[in-house]
Structure 1
Amino acid sequence: MRILIVEDEALVAMLLEDMLADLGHTAVFSAASTTEALAYMSQNPDAFDFAITDVNLAGEQSYPIAEALAAAGKPFAFATGYGPGSLPEAWRDRPVLAKPFGTSDVARVVGPA
């Protein structure tokens, strides 16, 4: 599967890319901000099958990204260190990668290649 990563911490993004590769997936793009992610998504709507987005991007919430993904019918998961209970009610049905996460956590959320 082709995965869009939205993560503002470069080391976490690189770790996630490695975990996805180990699972047989491809990280197609890593965005560090809401603006960057939304621009990529609008210019490349068919370039990815799934997205993982950090909830907090340098102090900015990623919910506009979630709204765009949902409107496009793209499956996605949130990554957060605050736990699933910190998400607004509207997004609590989405998969959550609790930070810190490991490869088995990513596999549970993304699924097999």
Structure 2
Amino acid sequence: MLGQASIFLVEDEVLIRMMLADMVEELGHRVVAEACNIRDAQVLAETMFFDIAILDINIAGSSIAPVATIIARRGLPFIFVSGYGLASRPEEFIERPALQKPVSISILGETINAIIATSSRADDSSPNIQ
């Protein structure tokens, strides 16, 4: 593991949300916010401090796109998860990582670590302004 990440988790199915939260914590990260609907997710996406978001693509029949847009605007990374197939990912975010449910802990861990590594490299290449 490259470091502990704070995770924002959006999932409408309570058992899946609990399973993902357990996996995140088992991987050594921490869930700092959870939402089960688009409205709450939008508020949290705007206001919470987190390193990475894990977003179910379909929240109670609605697209996660408005939440993803907020997070992208903030310049924060996110991972899509879906039980309906990865083709349902919002077209404007087709380049973002996406995992098929059920997600294995090893694949989730690899994906989170890849994002952390990419963020660390970006931070290392930023000029040090004092």
- 2:7 counterpart of 1:25: no
User: Partner of 1:34 in structure 2?
Assistant: 38
User: Partner of 2:13 in structure 1?
Assistant: 9
Q: Which moved more, 1:63-72 or 1:84-93?
A: 84-93
Distance in 1 of aligned mates of 2:91 and 2:8: 24
User: Partner of 2:61 in structure 1?
Assistant: 59
What amino acid is aligned across from residue 108 of structure 1 in structure 2?
A: E
Distance in 1 of aligned mates of 2:24 and 2:43: 23
Q: Which moved more, 1:101-110 or 1:18-27?
A: 101-110
User: Partner of 2:80 in structure 1?
Assistant: 78
What amino acid is aligned across from residue 29 of structure 1 in structure 2?
A: A
Q: CA deviation at 1:43?
A: 2.6
Which structure dedicates a bigger proportion of its chain to helix?
2
Q: Deviations over 1:32-61 (max 9, x none)?
A: 0111011112232xx210000001111111
> Which of 1 and 2 has higher RCO (CA within 8 Å, sep 6+)?
1
Q: Deviations over 1:52-93 (max 9, x none)?
A: 000111111100011111110010011101222232432211
Unaligned runs of 5+ in 1: none
State the Cα RMSD in Å: 1.5
- 2:113 counterpart of 1:89: no
Aligned residues of 1:84 and 1:92 also touching (Cα < 8 A):
no
- Counterpart of 2:75 in 1: which secondary structure? coil
- Identical positions, percent: 39
User: Partner of 2:103 in structure 1?
Assistant: 101
Q: CA deviation at 1:3?
A: 0.2
Aligned residues of 1:79 and 1:97 also touching (Cα < 8 A):
yes
Large movers: runs of 4+ above 4 Å: none
Aligned residues: 111
TM-score by length of 2: 0.79
What amino acid is aligned across from residue 107 of structure 2 in structure 1?
A: D
Task: Give the greater-gyration-radius structure (CA).
Answer: 2
- Counterpart of 1:28 in 2: which secondary structure? strand
